Amino acid sequence: MISARPRLAVETDLYQLVAIAMGAGRLTLFLDRTATNAPVTDARIALVRNDASVVAAARPDGSYDLVVPELATPGAHPLIFQISHADGDDLIAGEIDVPAAAPAEVAQATPRSSFVTQALPIAAALVGGLAIGFIAGRRRPQVQAALFVLGLLGLGLLVLGTPVEAHEGHAPSPVPDGASLTGDLPRRLADGSVFMPKPSQRLLSVLSERIAEGNGLRAVSLFGRIVADPNRSGVVQSINGGRLSAPDAGFPRLGQRVKQGEILALVTPALPLADQSTLAEKQRDLEGAIALAQQKVARLNRLGPGVTPRSNIEDAELEIVNLQQRLAGLKQAKLAPEVLTAPIDGIVSTSRAAAGQVVAAQDTLFQIVDTSSLWVEALVFDQLDPGAIATASAIGPAGTSMTLAFRGRSRLLQAQSVLLQFAVETPASDAAVGQPVTVIVRKAEPVKGLLVPREALVRGAAGETVVWEQIEPERFVSRQVRSEPFDAQRALVTGGVSAGSRVVVHGAELMSQVR
């Protein structure tokens, strides 16, 4: 028994119709497209009768409700449904077999009175046999022990055979029947196929697709990760080190877009004590030299223009200006902070800045990345000729696809692998530097097979690759297949299923969990 509820499951070229008898003459209808198993929720379903047609009422969950009074009586009931929809009209005929209900007295326990009537002769015979055996076996203990054991067994049979009644105020425990043990639940059948009722298919969004044969290029799957384009990325570091401080606009936040030359942080250099003493001594020397030069100019001016040549006064004034500039430069070297600016236009992907932080020279404080220009690095463990690469694509962790363009390969063997670099031509919106991806490289080698979505391929119980084929509206069979990578979204199946098969492309992983 596949289902506890009487049902009708018919499939045509356009539609799948499943009608489930819910009791009391009610029918619940599920209408799906045959090619994709997608629900059809806006169709007009009419039950064709001799006198008139009865139109099913659409329900919010996508099913249809119909009342057929004759289904309340047991027997085979032929039904004809007329489907009207924009995708096409159809006429579906089938038969629902409503079984007869089991007699109520079969499920009830045997009355105690009848049981006692039947058990009294057995009890009397057992008691009589025990008495005779005890008298006859007084001098034979072995016979007496055997008869005693037989008596206990007979008494146990009487106790176990007595029906157990519920206590006063409690109902008797229900006896499970076939209907409760084989309800409308997904389950694995004896032949290994899976019975998946239409309500469960709607809940799990099970969708299928007819696979077709096609030609393509043989592909290789590689492990890779997203990296920044070396020409469209940069780091911000301090040359001398010191204490970090924020500019007037504050430190840039992660994800903030910055312009080239924009001030990101200020670094006040920290001078050692010996250097501070040297600078202070140098400052005092310059200040003293300026004071002497100013006195010299004042003395020359007092002598008058007739005594002192004008050229001597101008030389002394020029010396004062030179000394003052040297002193100003010395003070600026002590106090002026180092300005850190953005090297390119891009987005801040790394920020390790805090006010008052002491940084050393060449510490990376910010990393700027242009997300519109990303690369992918992939490892190759065999000899892949770059000239044989026709196309390449990458699959992110979320299943997003990115088109790649080959840029170059490394001539240095790293951990028994060669590094390939690709430019991301169509980056995904959620792509991030360092994110692992699967790179699909297609060679210039033609291959023939069936193209299926990668989501249709799942692992079986023994680790083999399988696909789920829909052979009936509510029955699915797993097929072990041989597959090869094709691109970021599809795989190439070279054996196990035939062209035209309806393969589950959404919900296949959940289908494998049915037991």
3-state secondary structure string, 169-211? CCCCCCCCCHHHHCCCCCEECCCCCEECCHHHHHHHCCEEEEC
Looking at the fold, whether 55 and 93 belong to one and the same domain comes out as: yes
Residue 463 lies in a domain: yes
Who has greater pLDDT, 415 or 81? 81
Distance of alpha carbon 475 from alpha carbon 496, whole angstroms: 18
Rounded to the nearest 10 degrees, the angle between the axes of helix 273-303 and helix 310-335 is 160
Looking at the fold, whether 89 and 123 belong to one and the same domain comes out as: no
pTM (two decimals):
0.59
Residue 295 lies in a domain: yes
Distance of alpha carbon 389 from alpha carbon 380, whole angstroms: 13
Edge-first strand listing for the sheet containing 44-48: 53-55, 44-48, 75-84, 90-98
In sequence order, what are the residues at sequence separation of 6 or more whose Cβ sits closer than 8 angstroms to the Cβ of residue 202?
30, 39, 61, 62, 63
Q: 3-state DSSP: the chain helix, strand, coil percent, rounded to 5?
A: 25, 40, 35
Specify the DSSP class assigned to residue 414: B
Q: Looking at 104-108, 399-403, 447-451, 459-463, which range is the least confident one?
A: 104-108
Residue 393: strand, helix, or coil: strand
pLDDT score recorded for residue 276? 62
| Among 2, 189, 10, 184, residue whose Cα is nearest residue 93 | 10
Work out whether strand 75-84 and strand 436-453 pair parallel, antiparallel, or are unpaired.
unpaired
pLDDT score recorded for residue 11? 94
Looking at the fold, whether 475 and 450 belong to one and the same domain comes out as: yes
pLDDT score recorded for residue 40? 95
Which single residue is written with the structure tokens 């009207």?
A: 84
State the CATH number of the domain containing residue 84.
Answer: 2.60.40
pLDDT score recorded for residue 447? 79
Looking at the fold, whether 27 and 136 belong to one and the same domain comes out as: no
> Which amino acid, one-letter code, is at 287?
E
Phi, psi of 283 (to 5 degrees): -65, -40
| Among 248, 229, 281, residue whose Cα is nearest residue 407 | 229
Average of per-residue pLDDT values in the chain: 81
Residue 310 lies in a domain: yes
> Which amino acid, one-letter code, is at 179?
A
In sequence order, what are the residues at sequence separation of 6 or more whose Cβ sits closer than 8 angstroms to the Cβ of residue 97?
6, 75, 76, 77
Residue 70 lies in a domain: yes
Query: What value does the mean pLDDT take over residues 431-441?
Result: 89
E strand residue ranges, 283-429 = 338-341, 346-351, 358-359, 364-369, 374-380, 389-395, 401-409, 418-424
pLDDT of 168 > 80? The answer is no
Which tokens hold the place of 126?
A: 């057992």
Residue 469 lies in a domain: yes
Number of domains, the chain: 4
Specify the DSSP class assigned to residue 381: S
State the CATH number of the domain containing residue 398.
Answer: 2.40.30.170
Who has greater pLDDT, 426 or 503? 503
Which tokens hold the place of 509?
A: 């992983």
Q: Looking at 127-141, 223-237, 368-382, 486-500, which range is the least confident one?
A: 127-141
pLDDT of 162 > 60? The answer is no
Looking at the fold, whether 379 and 507 belong to one and the same domain comes out as: yes
* Sign of the dihedral through C-alpha 42, 47, 50, 51: negative
Residue 261 burial by Cβ neighbours in a 10 Å radius (0-12, 13-18, 19+):
exposed
E strand residue ranges, 251-309 = 257-258, 263-268
pLDDT score recorded for residue 51? 72
Q: Which domain holds residue 116?
A: 108-161
> Which amino acid, one-letter code, is at 337?
P
How many Cα neighbours within 13 Å face the side chain of 340?
33
pLDDT score recorded for residue 397? 77
Looking at the fold, whether 465 and 414 belong to one and the same domain comes out as: yes
Q: Hey, which of 12-21, 116-125, 162-171 has the most confident mean pLDDT?
A: 12-21
| Among 356, 359, 408, 355, residue whose Cα is nearest residue 380 | 408
pLDDT score recorded for residue 129? 52
pLDDT score recorded for residue 116? 43
Looking at the fold, whether 23 and 116 belong to one and the same domain comes out as: no
H-helix or E-strand spanning residue 315: helix 310-335
Looking at the fold, whether 58 and 133 belong to one and the same domain comes out as: no
> Which amino acid, one-letter code, is at 507?
G
Chain centroid, CA 117 distance in Å: 67
Q: Express each pLDDT in 450-496 by its tens digit.
A: 889 989 999 988 889 999 999 999 999 999 999 888 777 888 898 88
Domain stop point among 49, 67, 98: 98
How many Cα neighbours within 13 Å face the side chain of 129?
16
E strand residue ranges, 261-417 = 263-268, 338-341, 346-351, 358-359, 364-369, 374-380, 389-395, 401-409
| Among 425, 370, 360, residue whose Cα is nearest residue 392 | 425
Looking at the fold, whether 321 and 403 belong to one and the same domain comes out as: no
Q: Is 434 left (phi over 0), alpha (psi -120 to 50) or beta?
A: left
Given pLDDT bands bounded at 50, 70 and 90, which one contains residue 383?
Answer: low
Residue 145 lies in a domain: yes
Q: Express each pLDDT in 281-298 by its tens digit.
A: 788 888 888 888 888 888
Which tokens hold the place of 41?
A: 């929720």
Residue 196 lies in a domain: no
Looking at the fold, whether 405 and 441 belong to one and the same domain comes out as: yes
Phi, psi of 344 (to 5 degrees): -145, 170
Looking at the fold, whether 426 and 456 belong to one and the same domain comes out as: yes
Looking at the fold, whether 387 and 491 belong to one and the same domain comes out as: yes
Residue 182 lies in a domain: no
pLDDT score recorded for residue 409? 86
Distance of alpha carbon 388 from alpha carbon 407, whole angstroms: 14
Instruction: Judge contact between 31 and 16, C-beta under 8 A.
Output: yes
Helix ranges, 61-191 (H): 104-107, 112-136, 141-161, 178-181
Percent of the chain residues topping a pLDDT of 90: 37
Domain stop point among 66, 98, 130: 98
